[in-house]
Structure 1
């Protein structure tokens, strides 16, 4: 199969997509080449600071997140900022901060992101539990409390 014939599909799938203010979304972003950048706790905190800034500016209501070594899962309710803009802003600002800390100019994130709009009837707490349990399922820790890079409003 010629993969170049299908390279445009991701872009095509995003055409006509819109973000609905007030809706919950699960956003996933992956590091470039799945590099485990966030094994470094200090670099992870730089991304978390950008997520917190988005929450504090009311661009999103951050419900739950987990930062794995090579990707982020973030459950949010978006405000007026479109999801595409939010994802680009978080990825761009975190890449600048992390590259500055590493004294590099590397590509930090894979292009694009994955999102899933949650339905009104979806149980947000169950989705949050699933998200923050990622380190357990990945075998990174035996107890969730041993993993420092997650948060949820239902604590």
Structure 2
């Protein structure tokens, strides 16, 4: 068995297009539900906000689930690889420091889906912020602490 049994499914030859919207997903190593501790989730939120403030992306919507996150962005001043490498490595450092541990935090790679020209972003944002409802973590979106959307 391979160490990452689904790594062969990751996309090769990604193309990053400035101005294009992307739905991004990254998963915690071994799917450990670390973000059940919402204070640790806030450390990841700080990295998502940092990318937005640096104008690398325009953050449209995001949700941090117990073992992964979804992030709808429009690329501005970086490419997908730079964005995800920076976000994952910086969050690994801060979370590991908080937990007084070392080692892998995220699974290798990430999933991305380019949003086609003309596709509405609102349905993607709604899908993202409704994840805690579908996972039966809360009964109302507003009860979940780790999400945001630019329309609010």
Normalised by the length of structure 2, the TM-score is 0.93
Distance 2:78 2:16 in 1: 8
Larger radius of gyration: 1
User: Which segments of 5 or more consecutive residues in structure 2 lack a partner in the other structure?
Assistant: none
Which residue among 122, 127, 132 is the counterpart of 1:130?
A: 127
Corresponding residue number in structure 1 for 2:44: 47
Map 1:1-150; keep pairs closer than 5 Å: 9-10=8-9, 13-15=11-13, 17-150=14-147
Structure 1 residue runs of 4+, over 6 Å off?
A: none
For residue 7 of structure 1, report the CA deviation from its aligned partner.
Answer: 7.0
User: Which segments of 5 or more consecutive residues in structure 1 lack a partner in the other structure?
Assistant: none
Q: How many residues align?
A: 151
Task: Judging by fraction of residues, say which structure has more helix.
Answer: 1
Distance 2:90 2:32 in 1: 18
For residue 9 of structure 1, report the CA deviation from its aligned partner.
Answer: 3.3
Normalised by the length of structure 1, the TM-score is 0.92
